[in-house]
Structure 1
Amino acid sequence: MPKDQTSLANGVPTARPGTIFVLTVAGGISVDPAPGQSILFGRNRPKVHVCVGEDDQRVSRQHGSITYRSGQWWVTATGRLPLRLPEGQRLFPSEDPVPLAAGYTPLFVQGSSGREHLLEVYVAGDSGTRPVLRHRDPTQPPRIWHLSPDEKLALIVVGQRYLLHERHPLPLAWRVAADQLSELQPDAGWTGKRVEHLVAGVRNRLSREGVAGLTREEVGEPVGNALNDNLFAELLLSTTLVPSDVDILDD
């Protein structure tokens, strides 16, 4: 791999489709696709192809591997601790390998004292080229979900801990939220049941529009706070709700 390649996030040099590039701060390699090809990564530099976390004893000496078979690359965890994949997915040593899609995939190796070591992976697609740079193209806005005034106010109150960036946020209980809403709007007839109904209505509407993780069937039992946790993740990611919305509570 070129020595001036400091990241794979912006693409890779033109390469044969299926060629894989793997990079860490300690260096990286590129490998052509061929059955049986395997890339080892971990802390023990002399025994792996790509070194990651070499000064961190929480990283295993051989923490994982990437192998080509059945026409694509597969990542396997072999260390003591799991790998973190995109969207929060964890890959444990006892689990089946996960296929890598064409394009860029960041993998994270958990280290000591809260450290995470980045392992960048890029699989060349059918064109074998890097993505087209779009410096001057208009920014694609997120899909902001329509909320009625009552829905938005109820969601701000119920989800205020998410908006305040608490480390482990939880939604407010319906009755607690109703009490706060009654302080804001004394004559609006807020009750716990009304708050619950409004939030469930938004959740069901977004589910019908294709947002995943908002129904019991998808999440499974026990549900706990998963449905509303997923709802607030979508509302914040889409900027339907933003942190400054909690200012209404101070007013």
Structure 2
Amino acid sequence: MPFSASLARGVAPTAPGTLHARTVTGGLSVPPRPGLTLCFGRGEKPDVDLGVGVDDQWVSRRHGELTYRQGLWWLRNTGQQLVRLPRGQMMHVTTEPIPLATGYTPLFVKGSGYREHLVELYVAGHDDQGPLSRRAAETVRPETWALDDDERLLLVVLGQRYLLYEEDPRPLTYAVAAKQLAYICPDGKWNERRIEHRVEAVRRRLDRTGFRYPLMHDKSQGRPGDNRLLHNLIRGLVESTTLVPPDLDLMEDDTTWPDTAP
């Protein structure tokens, strides 16, 4: 049953399970009624309930559906382009429907060129009034992690390309980082083995704090390379503003570094 055909049935928009959805072209609230389906895409009503990417022909006229069944909202991609969910999860037209968790879920419909069209979804829980306006509320500061002076210097050296906001950055190798650290602090006794131990110690400590990205090996999925875990560590520290571009001053910008090629 399309959502547009069920508005007159009188379900409170803040009932548990209510789905709030919005794009740049509008928004709506959908009651949690078994069999109810919300459709989104480039098309017009009555084919879709919510427009997304309406000026982008890469977006299908009916690109996705959200259906309420078994006490959950299930997302299905019905379009030709991929749908991207948080943590890089992708959905193809052949992908099985995915249930939405209570709370906020953004999804992105791939469009032409570099365009991605955002659909914001919010499933209300018990005693939940849905997404409320907080324009006057105090801004929440980013969650940052404590680093000692040696850790900060080490991670700035390893992650200098991230702090320059380069496209697709990668950490410096331990060998190159050791040479740079030897120039910065000759008495620091930095070598590849010490760097490896300090990085692992930071990863272990932050892994227990709810860090955004995996920092330790997951035995059930094989053993990823340490470089991938180092990438996760630096990426998370930069995104959280634990490390910021002014930290590059620790490296003394006028220094000419030896052998810095990847």
Query: In structure 1, what is the equivalent of residue 243 of structure 2?
Result: 241
* Map of 2:50 onto structure 1: 50
Range moving further from structure 2, 155-164 or 216-225: 216-225
Q: CA deviation at 1:157?
A: 0.2
Over the residues paired in the alignment, what is the CA RMSD in angstroms?
A: 2.7
Contact 2:123 2:130 in 1 (8 A): no
Structure 2 stretches lacking a partner, 5+ long: 4-11, 255-262
Give the corresponding residue for 1:104.
104
SS of residue paired to 2:32: coil
8 Å contact kept, 2:85–2:108:
yes
Q: Check 1:194–1:128 CA distance in 2 against 1; reply closer, same or farther (3 A cut).
A: closer
CA distance in 1, matches of 2:157, 2:229: 17
> Counterparts in 2 of 1:80-91, with a 5 A limit?
80-91=80-91
Q: State, as a whole percentage, how many aligned pairs show the same letter.
A: 49
Deviates more, 1:217-226 or 1:190-199: 217-226
Deviations 1:142-165 (A, max 9, x none): 443232322211111001111111
The SS at the match of 1:155 is helix
Shift of 1:113: 1.8
Match of 1:217 in 2: 218
Letter paired with 1:246: L
1:219–1:227 CA contact under 8 A, matched in 2: no
Q: Which residue of 1 aligns with 2:6?
A: none
1:182 maps to what in 2? Answer: 182
Is 1:229 matched with 2:231?
yes
Greater Cα shift, 185-194 or 60-69: 185-194
Q: What is the match of residue 257 of structure 2?
A: none
- TM-score normalized by structure 2? 0.80
1:167 is matched with: 167
SS at match of 2:186: coil
Unaligned regions of 5+ residues in structure 1, if any? 2-12
Instruction: Classify 1:62/1:222 alpha carbon distance in 2 versus 1 (closer, same or farther; 3 Å).
Output: farther
**Correspondence for 1:5:** none
Matched to 2:248, the amino acid is V
What is the one-letter code of the residue matched to 1:99?
P
In structure 1, C-alpha distance between the alignment counterparts of 2:157 and 2:209, rounded to whole Å: 24
Counterpart residue identity of residue 25, structure 2: A
| Aligned pairs for 1:1-251 within 5 A | 15-46=14-45, 47-130=47-130, 141-211=141-211, 212-217=213-218, 220-221=221-222, 223-224=224-225, 225-249=227-251, 250=253
Contact 2:122–2:131 at 8 Å: present in 1 too?
no
Deviation string 1:210-247 (CA, Å, 9 cap, x unpaired) is 43511121683462432112111322243321221112
Matched to 2:21, the amino acid is: V
C-alpha spacing 1:242/1:102, structure 2 compared with 1 (3 Å): same
Q: Any conservation in 2 of the 1:43–1:51 contact (CA below 8 Å)?
A: yes
Equivalent residue letter for 1:160: Q
Matched length: 240
Residue identity matched to 2:230: N
Higher deviation after alignment, 23-32 or 68-77:
23-32
Q: Could you list the per-position Cα deviations for residues 130-186 of structure 1 after superposition, in whole angstroms to 9, with x for gaps in the alignment?
A: 456667776655443232322211111001111111110101000011111111112
Residues in 2 aligned to 1:242 and 1:31: alpha-carbon distance in whole angstroms = 41
Does the C-alpha gap of structure 1 residues 138 and 60 become closer, same or farther in structure 2, counting only changes over 3 Å? closer
Cα deviation digits, residues 67-92 of structure 1 (max 9, x gap): 10111111111222221223433233
User: In 2, are the aligned partners of 1:213 and 1:219 still within 8 Å (CA)?
Assistant: no
Cα deviations by residue, 1:14-45 (Å, 9 ceiling, x for unpaired):
53322223222333433211111111111222
Quick one: structure 1 residues 230 and 128, their matched pair in 2 at CA, closer, same or farther if it must change by over 3 Å? same
